[in-house]
Amino acid sequence: MSMSMPPHAFPFSSITKNSDEGKQERANMTLVFDRYKDRLITLPKEKGWITENLYMYQGFWHQSMRRISVETVMALQETFKAHPSDVYLATLPKSGTTWLKALVFAIVNRNRYKNNNSFSAHPLLHSSPHDCLPFIETEVFKNTPTYNVDSDSPRLFATHIPYTSLPKSIIDCGCNIIYLCRNPKDVLVSMFHFANKLRDESSCSPMTFNDTFELFSKGVMPTGPYWDHVKGYYKVSLEHPKNVLFLTYEALRKDTANNVKRLAEFLGFPFTEEEEAEDEVQKVIGLCSFEHLREVNKSGDLREGIPNDAFFREGKVGDWTNHFTNEMSQTIDYITEQKFHGLNISTFSRN
């Protein structure tokens, strides 16, 4: 096992070491991690996928000492103030977050970055969707998090936090939430590859697909159990359909155009007839396509030190068939049927 730490292994390593902003962020991270260290040691622990351990907090597993971590959830629960016009994109890791971020950012800002009827000045031509539309979790450590700044409506944020652990003000202020869900088997495969790339080798031994399958089936993955995360948002989408839009990666892949139009309407930025005639929907889809984003993000790192290209692997529906045995597939189908019993969200589980 290599003892040299990859650049993304340490939560502080990512921030430009010598910049004032970087120093301040490192200091803020230390303060936040320190503030919750007594609570952390009381939490149940399990083996982590990327970091050594995951911690159970309010029924879900979280990493610690990371930007997206249990400490961040606690800090946001204490301090975060949502605006009623905000939009939150909620996902489990590896469900298509990067794609959804790109689509929502591109839809809402489609006129802002237009130059001679083309997107030649668009941020998605040179920046990661994660830089265009931040996670509330990664903003916590900034001196001036964007969520404390008033800006043009709607403010767009993403989160992996389970519905029941969201900061109260997001739930209370009735803002809009878009949830993107993906077939659990493809989430597991995607997470397996992602974790292999990012695993903190100084504290974690390599994991086989079997190891991650066992953990996933027990519900142990960052912000899992998978089924509880999905169910939380699904139920609230039934209770508040005007505020919570529930989409699947599979449907978005199968009929991207209609789902992009649906997203645009939900966001309050519907495509006009004129725009449709000018193929604006297809232009947005092209800008956010897997092929285009993978090309733009083939180099560079996010602030948190994760290589941009780690978010673009296959981009397919059903890659699980290349990893699962029949028995594994049946096990996940069985758990999904049990957990989603009585809910109409199991349609993709056998895909």
Please list the active-site residues.
Answer: 160
The separation between CA 330 and the C-alpha centre of its own chain, rounded to angstroms, equals 27
8 Å CB contact between 130 and 98: yes
Q: Which is nearer to ligand A3P, 65 or 92 (CB)?
A: 92
- Residue showing tokens 């990666």: 249
Q: Which is nearer to ligand A3P, 87 or 288 (CB)?
A: 288
At how many degrees (to 10) do helices 256-267 and 97-108 cross?
60
Is residue 324 classed as helix, strand or coil in its secondary structure? coil
Find the Cα–Cα–Cα–Cα dihedral 40, 43, 45, 51, rounded to 10°: -30
| From candidates 12, 209, 227, 290, binder to ligand A3P by CB under 6 A | 290
293 forms part of the interface with ligand A3P (CB under 6 A):
yes
93 forms part of the interface with ligand A3P (CB under 6 A):
yes
128 forms part of the interface with ligand A3P (CB under 6 A):
no
209 forms part of the interface with ligand A3P (CB under 6 A):
no
Total residues at interface with ligand A3P (CB under 6 A): 21
Residues 228, 164: Cα–Cα separation, whole Å: 10
Which string of b and e fits 101-140 if b means at least 16 CB within 10 Å?
bbbbbbbbbbeebeeeeebeebbbeeebbbbbbbbbbbbb
Q: Which is nearer to ligand A3P, 91 or 212 (CB)?
A: 91
| From candidates 201, 214, 228, 319, binder to ligand A3P by CB under 6 A | 319
Minimum distance, C-beta of residue 193 to ligand A3P, in the bound complex (Å) = 6
The CA R_g of the chain, rounded to the nearest whole Å, is 20
Which of 56-64, 89-97, 262-270, 335-343 is the region at the interface with ligand A3P (rule: CB under 6 A)? 89-97
Minimum distance, C-beta of residue 334 to ligand A3P, in the bound complex (Å) = 23
Q: Parallel, antiparallel, or unpaired: how do β-strands 87-91 and 156-159 relate?
A: parallel
98 forms part of the interface with ligand A3P (CB under 6 A):
yes
Q: Which is nearer to ligand A3P, 193 or 235 (CB)?
A: 193
Q: Which is nearer to ligand A3P, 220 or 302 (CB)?
A: 302
* Chain positions contacting ligand A3P, by CB under 6 A: 91, 93-99, 186, 190, 193, 288-290, 293, 311-315, 319
